[in-house]
Amino acid sequence: MADTSSGRFIMDRRSIVKGLGLGAVGLMSAPVLAACSTGGSGGGSSSGGGGGSVTFGSNASDPVPKKAYAAFVTAFQKKSKDTVKVNTSDHNSFQDKISNYLQGSPDDAFTWFAGYRMRYYAKKGLVADISDVWSKIGSNFSDGLKKASTGDDGKQYFVPNYNYPWGFFYRKSFWQQNGWAVPGTFDELVTLAKKMKAKGIIPIAFTDKDQWPACGTFDYLNMRINGYQFHVDLCAHKEGWDTPKVQEVFTTWKELLPYYDPSAAGLTWQEGATKLGKKQAGMMLLGSFITQQFTDAAVLNDIDFFPFPSVKVEGTDAVEAPIDGLMLSKKGGQNQAAKDMLAFMGSGAGQEAYYAVDKSNIMTAKDADTSGYSAFTKKLSDVIAGAKNISQFFDRDALPAMASNVLEPAMLNFIKGGAVNLKNIESQAKTLYAQQ
């Protein structure tokens, strides 16, 4: 079954197209017809503090994020006296239709995330430069977050709301019982996995039915072996795939394969998390949304986190922490009230209003009140705060077609057979990136 339970994440974007009953011919018409739809702009705009109106396109269609954004909007309206009209769309279809949305009649502000497509639309001039907003809120964010909000031209286009780190999750009590220590280096990780395997459990609950989870391991190994900048350049295809550097990532990865769940190819991350919760597996590399899967409070309180161990360069400086936030459409860039709303998102008060409802993520503003964080959340937040570089996920940092159609299937084959054809990946990448 298609996994749509974590609609918040980019990887679940593949919306179901009901049948191919339309036929190939019908499908072929989609881009042509869609490209013809250009329309006027809707919604009012005004300038100056108070009394303005903003339209806000939200992809928060799941109940909790939807309520959280409603709380944020209410707090903003109270503070600014502007009125905000929220248009919520289904999460996946919003993501799929973003090109048409931005070219048609978009709202002033809309939800989006940092990464390749943010920079891509900035380059194409479909979103508004908000460097003036950043001159007000800039001091409220770390350098890593600012870099993640910046387009290729050095201007800012994005205001972060929250993020969530990727790392290894495990059960504290289970590890204490067995005398297992958190590995600091890759070799220690392999040694630990060997011990776990000898004990008859699955050392690493790796699950790849949905294909995107493998990107987490690839990104971390790549950043730990070749550095953060190489990750960025590889995602933008300024670096080639058919290189010793990428080969080394897969060679290193191969050492972990014997310690993965043998049925990894057919399992969803939810099933892997369940095995972790039941102590059938030792650890699992995933985003912090893994905690959603532990409904039993006793298990949830027993979950702990450690960053991906260091391998070769830059220690554990880089952390993979996809960032969600807000952007302005081209039209929204003319609307002072919309800019005020984004500035509010960049303040502690704005993020607290959101966090009060949706507590599954980490607030990004420095002045946000974190006294309500649990020790576990605090740990996650410290990892991000201490990071020199924040990467998004491969499918956010790279061309989406490259991630979903090329790298993810190739990685799944690698997980199953231990071999990867980098030459082929490179030739596909060349053709795909040339079309953008």
Q: Does 297 participate in binding other proteins (rule CB under 8 A)?
A: no
Window 222-241: residues binding other proteins (CB under 8 A): none
Q: How far is the CB of 51 from other proteins (least distance, A)?
A: 35
Q: Does 211 participate in binding other proteins (rule CB under 8 A)?
A: yes
Q: Judged by CB under 8 A, which stretch of 18-26, 212-220, 320-328, 378-386 contacts other proteins?
A: 18-26
Q: 123 or 388: whose CB is closer to other proteins? A: 123
Window 394-413: residues binding other proteins (CB under 8 A): 400-401, 403-405, 408-410, 412
> Sign of the CA dihedral 94, 95, 99, 102?
positive
Q: Does 30 participate in binding other proteins (rule CB under 8 A)?
A: yes
Q: How far is the CB of 125 from other proteins (least distance, A)?
A: 9
Q: Does 61 participate in binding other proteins (rule CB under 8 A)?
A: no
Q: Does 436 participate in binding other proteins (rule CB under 8 A)?
A: yes
Q: How far is the CB of 18 from other proteins (least distance, A)?
A: 6
Q: Does 37 participate in binding other proteins (rule CB under 8 A)?
A: no
State the amino acid at position 16 in one-letter form.
I
Question: Which position among 81, 124, 172, 254 is part of the footprint of other proteins (CB under 8 A)?
Answer: 124
Q: 121 or 168: whose CB is closer to other proteins? A: 121
Q: Does 198 participate in binding other proteins (rule CB under 8 A)?
A: no
Q: Does 432 participate in binding other proteins (rule CB under 8 A)?
A: yes
Q: Does 15 participate in binding other proteins (rule CB under 8 A)?
A: yes
Question: Which position among 20, 198, 297, 298 is part of the footprint of other proteins (CB under 8 A)?
Answer: 20
Size of the site for other proteins (CB under 8 A): 58
Whether 337 and 54 have beta carbons less than 8 Å apart is answered as yes
Rama region for 50: left / alpha / beta (φ>0; ψ in -120 to 50; rest): left
Q: Does 115 participate in binding other proteins (rule CB under 8 A)?
A: no
Question: Which position among 76, 80, 99, 307 is part of the footprint of other proteins (CB under 8 A)?
Answer: 99
Cα–Cα distance list, 368 to 144, 300, 364, 382 (Å): 17, 25, 8, 14
State the amino acid at position 185 in one-letter form.
T
Q: 371 or 435: whose CB is closer to other proteins? A: 435
Applying CB under 8 A, which residues contact other proteins?
1-2, 13-21, 23-35, 95-96, 98-99, 103, 117, 124, 126, 209, 211, 263, 265-267, 271, 400-401, 403-405, 408-410, 412, 416, 421, 424, 427-428, 431-432, 434-436
